[in-house]
Amino acid sequence: MSDADTELEARLEEQDSFEPPESFVEQANVSNPDIYEEFEENWPECWEAAADMLDWETEYDQTFDGSNPPFFEWFTGGELNASANCLDRHLDERGDEVAIEWVGEPTDEANRTYTYEDLHREVNEAAAALREMGVGEDDVVTMYMPMIPELPIAMLACARIGAPHSVVFAGFSADALATRMNAADSEYLITCDGYYRRGDPLDHLEKANEGLDNVEHDTETVVVERLPEDDAFDHDLRDDQRLWVDAVHAHKGAEVEPVARDAEDMLFLMYTSGTTGEPKGVKHTTGGYLSWAAWTSHAVLDIKPEDTYFCSADIGWITGHSYIVYGPLALGTTTMMYEGTPDHPERDRLWEIVEEYEATQLYTAPTAIRAFMKWGSEFPDQHDLSSLRLLGTVGEPINPRAWKWYYKHIGNEECPVVDTWWQTETGGMMVTTLPGVKEMKPGSAGPALPGIDAEIVDTTGEQVEPGRAGYLTIQKPWPGMLRTLYQNDERFVDEYWREYSDTDSDDWRDWTYFPEDGAKIDEDGYITVLGRVDDVINVSGHRLGTMEIESAIVGVEGVAEAAVVGGDHEMKGEAVYAYVITEDGYDGDEELRDAIIQGVEDGIGPIARPEQVIFTPELPKTRSGKIMRRLLEDIANGAELGDTSTLRNPDVVASIQEQVQK
């Protein structure tokens, strides 16, 4: 490092707040600081600004309907179609402009560019194919696909005919696919033959087929061929399966009238992890969700039609739904899709893409930034990143060091960084700075967005003092919020509302949304999110339920009981620590350890793979028989342990501690 660099690093290290760059503010979509006050005074009508970002087939007659809490409705009476908003309405002015720029993992493969016209045509053909298969309005279509263009095409085709999609992340296991198809009674699956991961083709259809074997009802499958012939795997399609090319090409040139959907009609389902072993089917609607995705893309990501916007998330998670597909396309911009990982073939792959396509925004996860930081600034330094105007992060807390590295080495101190807190359930961003308005404080996501009423409270619901840890709550509804858990209203109330609401009240003001995150707030209203307070852990920005992992482990032969906790991890944020009791007091060995890891990969997927498996004859329990998870977390972190004498079995602690490798 040169002296000048060292000096700069030292200065950055001390600086704890950053003004938005002047050059950014001048051109920002939102730059009026009064927006916070205006939205507060004008709630809920302020959210008409979000609805106004869309084209409605029938105007809504009520902005917000809070008459049946917590089943809130937005823009009621309105009708619209999400695919028409993402495609048709851009055709006149922007038909020739690029909608999706797809980059495959192999560097010698041509990229695929879809203009709005191309995308419109392909979505129409796919919609016609789905209709012919019998997909009707409100039939849930499951997609189990990696980052290939047919995934957003299929999503938009479903939206066009009013069939909700349920996208299952391609890295999830066959079992996870089956669980989700069964839970949603989904009779249709769109998947693909395979894809590339770090140079190797993966056989995805085999995994999909294994999943289908465990689906309890009849299904029909469409298979996209992503792999070129040389790399393709040998598969015979089953009777209830057909190729995408055959299904879609039979409808060349077809036009499918977009179905007018009620604002409150379901646009999609997304399964996410919760406290119990059963994933939760988060239901999002057409009007509220789409307007939320569009408005936040406009206000926070500062997306303009002429941008080339790059979000490196996977469409299989909510980030990709809202901020690769729906938000950017609703605004008529160019959205990038990259199939591979940032380190293949070299650790500069992302920077190469940013340079080549002149990306204007980059939205990624802290775990990726920590990896970039570890690899070193020589990789971004090899490339011209001056096209970038804004940087974003999402998925987990970002430590100030990583934030500053991102700000300096990727943004050249010229791009605001938005640290965006939100969840699958919130549909879109909730807590973050408005990049053209607010100063940034590394490590703190920022104030709640205008019109969002966030409070940090204690267990009784009282607001805590600035600087003290408490629980994040959202006091007022917002358009992008989940409407319920699919076919499980009761669990919806229990999971998100019961904690802080007067559940007997008919007045929506008595209802408070609880996201199950810990947080603190400073004197300026900036919120630092501390992490989950339920039994959910966050591994590399991926949300995993410890109960789901435990049940996968307990299913392994030779295992009697298991407790899973998250331990701190330098790169992943958190990592999976599995404490396992074997059957018959048998000492665990390598073979059982491997079987447990395999069991987790089969049950959930490689992302949930335990970092460490610790065999123990007993788990530390309270006198009343509850497993002391806190203690297991402290042990995983090598932390000082408090008083353990109140345990029923204090002796086990030392023997467990010895086994944990630090």
Please, are residues 492 and 485 in contact by the beta-carbon 8 Å criterion? yes
Q: Binding string to ligand WT7 for residues 145 to 184, with x set by CB under 6 A, is what?
A: ----------------------------------------
Stretch that binds ligand WT7, among 10-18, 101-109, 422-430, 497-505 (CB under 6 A): 422-430
Site for ligand WT7 contains 572 (CB under 6 A): no
From 424, 473, 484, 546, residue interacting with ligand WT7 (rule: CB under 6 A): 424
Closest distance of CB 240 from ligand WT7, Å = 32
**Distance separating alpha carbons of residues 150 and 153, to the nearest angstrom:** 5
Q: For ligand WT7, which is the closer residue by CB, 340 or 443?
A: 443
Q: Is 421 in the site for ligand WT7 (CB under 6 A)?
A: yes
Residue 419 binds ligand WT7 (CB under 6 A): yes
Closer to ligand WT7 by Cβ: residue 399 or 644: 399
Indicate the residue among 168 and 318 with the shorter CB distance to ligand WT7: 318
User: Which one, 340 or 515, has the nearer CB to ligand WT7?
Assistant: 515
Residue with smaller CB distance to ligand WT7, 251 or 543: 543
Q: Could you give the CA distance from residue 86 to residue 50 in angstroms, rounded to a whole number?
A: 15
> Does residue 72 bind ligand WT7 (CB under 6 A)?
no
* 452 lies in the binding site for ligand WT7 (CB under 6 A): no
Q: Which of 81, 83, 191, 272 touches ligand WT7 by CB under 6 A?
A: 272
Give the residue with the Cβ less far from ligand WT7, 94 or 520. Answer: 520
* 129 lies in the binding site for ligand WT7 (CB under 6 A): no
**Candidates 153-161, 190-198, 215-223, 421-429; binding stretch for ligand WT7 (CB under 6 A):** 421-429
* DSSP element (H, E) containing 593: helix 590-603
Q: Which is nearer to ligand WT7, 319 or 473 (CB)?
A: 319
The single-letter DSSP state of residue 586 is P
Place of tokens 């959210």: 47
Which of 181, 81, 59 minimizes the C-alpha distance to 127? 81
Does residue 324 touch ligand WT7 according to CB under 6 A?
no
H or E element, residue 383: none
Backbone φ and ψ for 264, nearest 5 degrees, come out as -90, 0
**Which CB atom, from 196 or from 496, has the smaller least distance to ligand WT7?**
496
Distances (CA, A) of 141 to 108, 220, 279, 376, 652: 33, 10, 17, 43, 49
* Per-residue buried b or exposed e for 315-343, using 16+ beta carbons within 10 Å of the residue's own CB: bbbbbbbbbbbbbbbbbbbbbbbbbbbbb
Beta strands in 346-389 (DSSP E): 361-364
Q: Which stretch binds ligand WT7 (CB under 6 A): 149-157, 316-324, 369-377, 623-631?
A: 316-324
DSSP sequence for 606-658: GGG--SEEEE-S---B-TTS-B-HHHHHHHHTTPPP---TTSS-TTHHHHHHH
Q: How far apart are CA 419 and CA 528, in angstroms?
A: 10
In the complex, the smallest distance separating the C-beta of residue 272 from ligand WT7, rounded to whole angstroms, is 5
- 515 contributes a contact to ligand WT7 by CB under 6 A: yes
Contact between 517 and ligand WT7 per CB under 6 A = yes
**Smallest gap from residue 401 Cβ to ligand WT7 (A):** 15
Nearest distance from residue 422's CB to ligand WT7, in Å? 4
From the list 443, 407, 397, 428, the residue with the least C-alpha distance to 300 is 428
Sole binder of ligand WT7 in the list 88, 139, 348, 396 (CB under 6 A): 396
CB of 94 or CB of 543, closer to ligand WT7: 543
Question: Does 394 contact ligand WT7 by CB under 6 A?
Answer: yes
The set of residues, in sequence order, having a beta carbon less than 8 Å from that of 140 and lying 6+ positions away, is 163, 164, 165, 166, 184, 185, 186, 187, 188, 269
CB 224 within 8 A of CB 177: no
For residue 24, which amino acid is it?
F
Indicate whether 318 belongs to the interface with ligand WT7 (CB under 6 A).
Answer: yes
The residue among 172 and 244 lying less far from ligand WT7, judged by its C-beta, is: 172
* 129/429 with CB nearer ligand WT7: 429
- Sequence letter at residue 482: L
Strands 517-521 and 470-474 come out as antiparallel
Q: Of the candidates 397, 442, 443, 599, which one interacts with ligand WT7 according to CB under 6 A?
A: 397
- When binding is defined by CB under 6 A, the residue of 64, 422, 486, 500 that contacts ligand WT7 is 422
Q: Are 547 and 276 in contact (CB under 8 A)?
A: yes
227 contacts ligand WT7 (rule: CB under 6 A): no
Q: Peptide bond preceding 342: is omega within 30 degrees of 0, i.e. cis?
A: no
* Half-sphere exposure of residue 611: CA atoms within 13 angstroms, side-chain side: 21
- Nearer to ligand WT7 by Cβ, of 421 and 496: the residue is 421
> What order do you get walking across the sheet with 98-103 strand by strand?
112-115, 98-103, 334-338, 308-311, 361-364, 390-394, 417-420
Least distance (Å) from ligand WT7 to the CB of residue 539? 11
Window 3-22: residues binding ligand WT7 (CB under 6 A): none
DSSP result, 312-352: -S-TTSHHHIIIIIIHHHHTT-EEEEE-S-TTSSSTTHHHH
445 binds ligand WT7 (CB under 6 A): yes
Tell me which of 85, 423, 444, 473 binds ligand WT7, using CB under 6 A: 423
Strand ranges (E), 206-347: 220-224, 241-243, 261-262, 266-272, 280-285, 308-311, 334-338
Q: Describe the crossing of helices 590-603 and 174-183 by its angle, rounded to 10 degrees.
A: 40
In angstroms, what is the minimal distance from the CB of 398 to ligand WT7?
7
Beta-strand pair 612-615/536-539: unpaired
Q: Between 140 and 318, name the residue whose CB sits nearer to ligand WT7.
A: 318
Q: Cβ of residue 131: shortest distance to ligand WT7, in angstroms?
A: 32
Contact status: 319 vs ligand WT7 (CB under 6 A)? yes
Distance of CA 39 to the CA centre of its chain: 27
Q: What does residue 425 show for φ and ψ, rounded to 5 degrees?
A: -70, -30
What is the nearest approach in angstroms of ligand WT7 to the Cβ of residue 592? 31
Place of tokens 């591979």: 340
The region, left, alpha or beta by phi > 0 then psi within -120 to 50, assigned to residue 586 is beta
Q: With CA atoms as reference, report the closest residue to 478 among 169, 46, 9.
A: 46
Over the window 527 to 566, marking each residue x when it contacts ligand WT7 by CB under 6 A and - when it does not, the resulting string is --x-xx-----x----x-----------------------
Binding map of ligand WT7 across residues 331-370, x = CB under 6 A, - = no contact: ----------------------------------------
Task: Verify binding: residue 265, ligand WT7, rule CB under 6 A.
Answer: no
Binding ligand WT7 (rule: CB under 6 A), the pick from 312, 420, 433, 582 is 420
Choices 184-192, 231-239, 315-323, 637-645 (CB under 6 A): range interacting with ligand WT7: 315-323
Using CB under 6 A as the criterion, which residues of the chain lie in contact with ligand WT7 when the complex forms? 272, 317-319, 394-397, 419-424, 445, 515, 517, 529, 531-532, 538, 543
